[in-house]
């Protein structure tokens, strides 16, 4: 669906209109469902929920408001894209977790799994600290690209291999606040 949002000058794909692929209503409905499932699974436990910055900040914030259990939060910041629309192939750790996760139930919350490289990096980093359990949630998943090496416990939506923005995801740092998910029509690139 056309969104009426045109990419401004000075940004990649400027002049192209964003296409809404997941509506704000469906985003919220799915996050609520995942929240219910997590609450059910972690009854009587106090997991540490680790958000992957920057992209997962909105998903994380909405998700925890649907939990009916006690939990702690922490954040890790990594980068594999820089300001580009393709993965650089290497992951840099920009900010590590501060919580001691040894012996704890850990849930890592990602915005999107594209190649799966970041996920592999996160799994290795978490396992170094020997958590009692480790699960992964991602809001978006690109099944045509991702290597299925790491099991993902909760996926919001599977999407096609297209660059998307909104709900935490950026295009050169803009569009993170859009309430739905929007694709850039790369074929329309000038």
What are the catalytic residues? 114
From candidates 114, 134, 139, 167, binder to ligand 5GP by CB under 6 A = 114
112 binds ligand 5GP (CB under 6 A): yes
From candidates 38, 49, 111, 122, binder to ligand 5GP by CB under 6 A = 111
| Strand bridging mode 133-141 / 105-113 | parallel
22 binds ligand 5GP (CB under 6 A): no
Q: What's the CA gap between 83 and 151, in Å, rounded?
A: 27
Q: What's the CA gap between 81 and 79, in Å, rounded?
A: 6
Footprint of ligand 5GP on residues 116-145 (CB under 6 A)? 116-119
Q: What's the CA gap between 181 and 28, in Å, rounded?
A: 11
> Which tokens is 160 given?
């096609």
Place of tokens 């998943």: 141
Binding mask 46-85 for ligand 5GP (x = CB under 6 A): ---------x------------------------xx----
113 binds ligand 5GP (CB under 6 A): yes
* Cα–Cα nearest to 133, from 98, 96, 156, 101: 101
Q: 8: which DSSP letter? A: P
Q: Which residues bind ligand 5GP (CB under 6 A)?
A: 55, 80-81, 87, 110-119, 163-165, 169-170
């Amino acid at each position: 669906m056309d969104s009426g949002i045109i990419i401004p000058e000075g940004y990649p794909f400027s002049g192209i209109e964003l296409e809404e692929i997941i509506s704000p209503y469906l985003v919220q409905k799915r996050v609520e469902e995942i929240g219910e499932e997590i609450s059910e699974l972690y009854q009587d436990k106090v997991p540490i929920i680790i958000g992957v910055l920057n992209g997962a900040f909105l998903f994380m914030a909405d998700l925890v408001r649907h939990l009916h259990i006690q939990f702690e939060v922490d954040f890790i910041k990594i980068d594999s894209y820089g300001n580009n629309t393709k993965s650089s192939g290497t992951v840099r750790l920009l900010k590590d977790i501060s919580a001691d996760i040894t012996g704890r139930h850990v849930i890592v919350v990602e915005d999107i799994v594209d190649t799966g490289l970041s996920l592999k990096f996160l799994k290795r980093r978490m396992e170094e600290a020997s958590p009692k359990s480790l699960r992964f949630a991602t809001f978006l998943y690109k099944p045509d690209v991702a290597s299925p090496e790491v099991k993902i416990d909760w996926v919001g939506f599977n999407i096609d291999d297209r660059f998307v923005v909104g709900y935490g995801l950026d295009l050169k740092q803009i569009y993170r606040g859009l309430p739905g998910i929007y694709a850039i029509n790369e074929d329309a690139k000038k």
